[in-house]
Structure 1
């Protein structure tokens, strides 16, 4: 679908039993193209989970809201993120205003404050607006490879603090989200360049949604360095944009990508309902062989 990232796979029914050869072909495509897309699939929650299990062990998301099905704890239902805002007594506009301080900082990979972020995410669409609500992915391997050699060396030397709730502006008075962040902090220190455990590619693990500072850099220095690497990772030539339709499925390597959901749906009056299953991952390892370290919070594998 683009030079560096994204492929569409047709001729396969994800709701039925899949031959090992088909599973291997899908896995190879995900590793090569970082995100793959399927159209006109007819998956229910059970079928979604069964498909995900062919690629690893599904995990329970720590950010599930009331919209998610109780009988399928590994499935997270997202209705334009309203379910998470509602959990903390805020509407969507309040949540976005207090949760973000930069449009670029909406780019993210899933759950990197945890020591063992998911290896992959499989997202399926149940309902979509007639237009708007696209998602864009960026390839972190080409982002690293496209850096000059001096900046590659700088990136390889850095370790970053990934923290749940970075950038949140507390409400005046009681704030249940702030209370949750204080009572259940989740923080890990990850290398800025990790080595992919399967492809051995070097990946620029820049995640502005959760990353606020680099170890041994000041906050001012961290902001400048972070913005530089986010700009690099999100260069248009490293990205692919996908338009959702009911029955669409996106399957991406969470280790090798960051993604961005376009915030252009509020005026349409037609919600986007997506269901997410994430597959367990491992502890990132840097170029020098040093693994990430947990500062606070339990691993996702123990959730």
Structure 2
């Protein structure tokens, strides 16, 4: 698989009549038309989507008519869906692979906070919300398929950034330096606790999840090098001083969130976003609390492998079970 997005997608599209892949920005995101995701996708259509995903990191579909069963069936065409051990009450009990993002609205109340305080304590810096899904696990998902059921008439957009482009955008000496670094990713990093008893802090202490990942991971399919860092999970870069750690994290997180590497998606009912969780970080919207409209989304994640670095060393778990347990 080459990194020439136009060549790969055009070639594959020629074998799947009616499918068009239209890039959205220069680095990240493509919209795919001519595909019914609820139908029986043939191998040629699956290949078009796969190649577009590898090339553009996130692909978008509009006007889809997926229910939970079709959503899971779609995911199985591209990998093995993850079954989460814990979900909120809004997720469908009969489809353990599907997680409903309305569950997030339950969390603040569960720990004695309103939503604004919840976000403030978890996102105390401007880049805090950027993340890959379950990045503190030793086996983060390979990909995520998110579909919109109900969206507000405005707001609620999601943004993605391309970690391969971010790595390539570094100078050559800094790339060499980053290639040899490893970082600790930990659930709950940077959470600002409440005065007195704090139920969420107690939850984090009782359910710790942490892994040492390579700062630059190698994509298992494309071979690209990815600047695998984000503000949501990264605790520290290993084997550097505290002062050096702060400055290096600031430099790398600024790099992965540079506007030219990002794409912002406006959701509509029936929209689907399918992203490579290995090669992107994303930013969920923080404006939905200001909107007097529901936003109900459903996601299915695909099981991923343990990352490895440029030197071939795999990630090493510190605490917490892997995300995915094969049947």
Q: TM-score range by the shorter chain?
A: over 0.9
Change (3 A) 1:269 1:80: farther
Structure 1 position 127 matched with structure 2 position 124: no
Structure 1 counterpart SS, 2:312: coil
Structure 1 position 90 matched with structure 2 position 113: yes
**TM-score normalised according to structure 2 size:** 0.89
Instruction: Name the counterpart of 2:218.
Output: 195
Instruction: Name the counterpart of 1:232.
Output: 255
Which of 220, 228, 232 is the equivalent residue of 1:205?
228
Instruction: Name the counterpart of 2:159.
Output: 136
Please say if residues 39 and 247 of structure 1, whose CA atoms lie closer than 8 Å, have aligned partners that are also in contact: yes
Structure 1 position 3 matched with structure 2 position 3: no
Instruction: Name the counterpart of 2:17.
Output: none
Q: CA RMSD in A?
A: 1.4
Alignment deviations for residues 123-165 of structure 1 (CA, whole Å, 9 cap, x no partner): 0001111111111111100100110011101211110000011
Alignment deviations for residues 189-226 of structure 1 (CA, whole Å, 9 cap, x no partner): 00000000000000000111000211112333222111
Structure 1 position 25 matched with structure 2 position 38: no
Structure 1 position 283 matched with structure 2 position 291: no
Which of 54, 74, 94 is the equivalent residue of 1:51?
74
Distance of 1:62 and 1:227 partners within structure 2: 33
Instruction: Name the counterpart of 2:12.
Output: none
Distance of 2:158 and 2:144 partners within structure 1: 13
Distance of 2:218 and 2:250 partners within structure 1: 22
Distance of 1:222 and 1:24 partners within structure 2: 41
Structure 1 position 250 matched with structure 2 position 260: no
Please say if residues 59 and 273 of structure 2, whose CA atoms lie closer than 8 Å, have aligned partners that are also in contact: yes
Shift of residue 21 of structure 1?
A: 1.1
Instruction: Name the counterpart of 1:296.
Output: 319
Change (3 A) 1:218 1:61: farther
Alignment deviations for residues 90-142 of structure 1 (CA, whole Å, 9 cap, x no partner): 22112112212202111111111100000000000011111111111111001
Structure 1 position 60 matched with structure 2 position 83: yes
Structure 2 counterpart SS, 1:185: coil
Instruction: Name the counterpart of 1:108.
Output: 131
Please say if residues 64 and 84 of structure 1, whose CA atoms lie closer than 8 Å, have aligned partners that are also in contact: no
Which of 225, 243, 265 is the equivalent residue of 1:220?
243
Change (3 A) 1:3 1:63: farther
Count of aligned pairs: 303
Distance of 2:243 and 2:301 partners within structure 1: 34
Change (3 A) 1:63 1:34: farther
Change (3 A) 1:174 1:60: farther
**TM-score normalised according to structure 1 size:** 0.96
Change (3 A) 1:170 1:74: same
Gapped regions of structure 1 (runs ≥ 5): none
Instruction: Name the counterpart of 2:186.
Output: 163
Distance of 1:15 and 1:84 partners within structure 2: 31
Instruction: Name the counterpart of 1:70.
Output: 93
Distance of 1:234 and 1:53 partners within structure 2: 31
Distance of 2:103 and 2:266 partners within structure 1: 15
Gapped regions of structure 2 (runs ≥ 5): 1-23
